[in-house]
Amino acid sequence: MRLLSGLTALCAAALFSSQTLAAPLILATKSFTEQHILSAMTVQYLQKKGFEVQPKTNIATVISRNAMINKQIDMTWEYTGTSLIIFNHINKRMSPQESYETVKRLDAKHGLVWLKPADMNNTYAFAMQRKRAEAENINTMSELVAKIEHIRKTDPDNNWLLGLDLEFSGRSDGMKPLQAAYNMPLDRPQIRQMDPGLVYNAVRDGFVEAGLIYTTDGRVKGFDLKVLEDDKGFFPSYAVTPVVRKDTLEANPGLEEALNTLSSQLNNDVITELNKRVDIDHQSPQQVSREFLQSKKLL
């Protein structure tokens, strides 16, 4: 009996030693609210599932990518459009499913596994004050363009103004190809260039009639903006997805299932509400994530 007890203690000590020496999973996320929420959510849920996680926040996109390939981080939440356009230099217009399948195939060559994409799309879109869009019966980009053209022809002194960030105005895949896709001629005075964060306020306050926004930004809900449908499918899909090194998945049974569980809980309405609670209601990403996971009975 004494020998058995000694063996049991020895095994327990060995197990404890291996656990303490095991390196935590390194999670890298970017420097904006949505990614801070995803980081907090992932850490809390994976810890509940028994994984040790070390978050690295505010990591630049390209740095995070290189660190994954060089095995310095284990996982991240990446966007399909980012991998397609920034990492793989593909500007061909694709459906969301095609984008996902393409980046999954290409990034597999680097030992990176794209898990289940969330049913959300943090892409560009144009938005208006909801009450104004409803009064003008504008629901799509094509209807916005038709309205702008009608005003240009019938009341040229009353130009509708569009708010754009400086980067989009000058990008090769930005305003000019958008105008071509939608047959949208604009006079220079109709465009107001500003910091991306100011576009939301400019639309809310009526300084511009419509503005370029990100579809899951919390201010969309907080300011009661109406996102116009991109009915010609110009903007690429940016579905957020857990991306993990293949060797990390192989060494951590259950990790893939846990991350897929998280991504299955997310859609545009959910993440916009969570973003709004941080950016507008001034709650912390940790609090917002904890309450969300509890509401889904995941904590």
Tens-digit pLDDT profile for residues 144-169: 999 998 888 888 778 789 999 887 87
Burial of 88 (C-beta count, 10 Å sphere; 0-12/13-18/19+): middle
Domain spans of the chain? Answer: 2-121+238-295, 124-227
Q: Which amino acid is at 123?
A: T
Residues 186-243 pLDDT 10s? 877 788 999 888 999 999 999 999 999 999 999 999 999 999 999 999 999 999 999 9
CATH of domain 2-121+238-295: 3.40.190.10
CB 248 within 8 A of CB 69: no
2-121+238-295 shares its CATH topology with 124-227: yes
Which uninterrupted H or E stretch holds 39? helix 33-48
In 189-268, where do the E strands start and end?
191-194, 210-214, 225-227, 240-245
pLDDT of residue 172: 65
pLDDT of residue 223: 97
Burial of 216 (C-beta count, 10 Å sphere; 0-12/13-18/19+): buried
pTM value is: 0.84
220 token code pair? 């969309």
Q: Which amino acid is at 149?
A: E
Q: Can you name the residues that pair with 127 across neighbouring β-strands?
A: 211, 227
165 token code pair? 């960030």
Ranges of residues in the chain with a pLDDT under 50 are 1-21
Q: Which amino acid is at 260?
A: N
pLDDT of residue 22: 63
In the CATH scheme, what architecture does the domain 124-227 have? 3-Layer(aba) Sandwich (3.40)
**Starting from the edge strand earliest in sequence, which strands make up the sheet with 112-114, in order?**
53-56, 25-28, 75-79, 240-245, 112-114
Instruction: Report angle CA 226, 85, 186 to the nearest 5 degrees.
Output: 50
Burial of 262 (C-beta count, 10 Å sphere; 0-12/13-18/19+): buried
